[in-house]
Structure 1
Amino acid sequence: MSVYDKFKQECAEEVAIQGKDPLLTRASHEWMNLANPRKYSYHFEWLGRPIIQYPQDMVAMQEIIWTVQPDLIFETGIAHGGSLIFSAAMLELNAACGGPQNAEVLGLDIDIRAHNREAIEKHPMFKRITMLEGSSIDEDVAAKVLKFAEDKKRVLVILDSNHTHAHVAKELELYSSLVKAGSYLVVFDTVIEDMPEDAFPDRPWGKGDNPKTAVWEFLKSNDRFEISREIQDKLLLTVAPDGYLKCVKN
């Protein structure tokens, strides 16, 4: 066993232990509950654009993108565009290191605001980005996405738009087929299920009606995906517990 492999094995063992540590996991949940009212995730940028993600999840996505080496990253939810820029930058780094040279990012949002579109289109990473406007659960829009992806060998899917159970369940139905063995389907904001009842008083989602409940339902009838427990056990602070889904068979 190489020194690196030994180090990785030790890390895996340590991660499994920390993921089962009730004091550590409870402290992580309590910290997130305190940070959420302060809009913690809104305060970070990637290459000049707001990304609205936890730094821990950004690191996890970097690791996934490096491991998968996708030739397409498809994301629902664009907002300020930071996540699109992040994904495009990671693909640019992959290409510089010998990965897919023409890898692309496809972003979909029901409302791409003019000032955000302008900022994204002016960004150097836009050369790898295509944007579509429309509902991610509209059958005609989904057909355009599937057409765009039809010649791609390895697709990574990220769901981060409307967070209601019904909406995410439909997204999973429409887009999970894009992901093949070895790649990932990442569902963000599953943490809503673990947060206080009154955490989102002005939103249509909450406990019992959120991305995590949609993931749980999806996995009951789909054996192509498994929850990557090692990712959330490693991060501890993540908006996507049970949301990192690895495709284990085509």
Structure 2
Amino acid sequence: MTFEDFETVALERRRLMALDAELEGTSRAWLNTSFKHRYGYNFHWLGRPVLKYPQDLVMMQMIIHSVRPTIIVETGVAFGGSLLFLASVLNFVSPEGRVIGVEKGLLDSTREAVETGPLSHMISLLEGDSVSPDTIATIRSQIRQDDTVMVVLDSDHSKAHVLDELESYAPLVSPGSFIIVFDTFIENLDGPIEDREFGPGNSPLLAVEEFLAGNPDFGSDLSVDERLLISEAPLGYLKCLR
């Protein structure tokens, strides 16, 4: 089987899989149950908690390889594992690329891990509110006219904040690139999330829906959902169509 033949077969199987209602229901039930155990806490990248499901990590790798961004902005750095993952993949496809991490309350251990690690030359950390005018201005100042920009949103998951982030960061995203909104799946959880203001009824998915209704330059890449089935970001892989 040639590579081209394999890709054709894989596409056909994905499309059939996407029509499998039983599998979709099983996947959704698994997401609900796994979240109760905080399944995303189980994985590290270069020694730091990555706080993402493996399927989404592989998908981001595929997007980075395809889009070949020169700048990736991530809001919500936490322990830094996801930031290090993005830099690791970017280093293969755009060795001169840069990753900008935005965190409102940056941990000392995260700063140390990033700034003393092997990818420190690619990463800059920005402490502050992800939607403050100063933060956005600082990020804009680091983007050159010929840069290809990709954005990952993974900070406060309340609808209002995510919508503010989408409105603030979408203009930075290059045509054909992506703004990825994480934790849209919480809208489909069985109940509220303990000790969190966000949850069903106040989620990133609702922000995505409102944003897309008023921004025809972006659309959810449904081929991503067809591939993954299990994802923290269903309908959250937004492609810039302009």
Normalising by structure 1, what TM-score?
Answer: 0.93
Return the alpha-carbon distance in structure 2 between the equivalents of residues 146 and 170 of structure 1.
16
Say what the alpha-carbon RMSD is for the aligned residues.
1.3
Unpaired stretches in structure 1, ≥5 consecutive residues: 95-99
Which is further off, 180-189 or 163-172? 180-189
Structure 1, 142-151 or 59-68: larger mean CA deviation? 142-151
The equivalent residue for 1:93 is 92
The answer as to 2:65 corresponding to 1:66 is: yes
Q: Which amino acid aligns with 2:175?
A: A
1:143 pairs, out of 101, 126, 137, with: 137
Give the deviation of 1:152 after TM superposition: 4.7
1:218 equivalent in structure 2:
211
Following the alignment from structure 1 to structure 2, what is the Cα–Cα distance between the partners of residues 152 and 77? 26
Partner of 1:179: 173
Residues 8-17 or 175-184, more deviating: 8-17
Q: Contact 1:88–1:126 (CA<8 Å) still a contact in 2? A: no
Question: What's the CA shift for 1:88?
Answer: 0.8
Q: Does 1:10 align with 2:9?
A: yes
Q: CA deviation at 1:157?
A: 0.4
Moved over 6 A (4+): none
**1:78-227 alignment runs, 5 A limit:** 78-94=77-93, 100-198=94-192, 200-227=193-220
2:24 and 2:201 mapped to 1: Cα distance? 21
User: Could you say which residue in structure 1 is the equivalent of 2:74?
Assistant: 75
Q: Which amino acid counterpart does residue 32 of structure 2 have in structure 1?
A: N
Q: Is the 1:165–1:210 Cα contact (8 Å) retained in structure 2?
A: yes
Shift of 1:243: 0.3
Partner secondary structure for residue 74 of structure 1? strand
Amino acid at match of 1:157: V
Letter in 2 for 1:215: V
Instruction: Please say if residues 186 and 245 of structure 1, whose CA atoms lie closer than 8 Å, have aligned partners that are also in contact.
Output: yes
1:33-72 map, 5 Å: 33-72=32-71
What's the TM-score, normalizing by structure 2?
Answer: 0.96
Distance 2:205 2:144 in 1: 28
2:231 maps to amino acid: T
CA–CA distance in structure 2, aligned partners of residues 156 and 28 of structure 1: 28
Task: State the alpha-carbon separation in 2 of the partners of residues 20 and 162 from structure 1.
Answer: 33
- Gap regions ≥5 residues in structure 2: none
Matched positions, count? 242
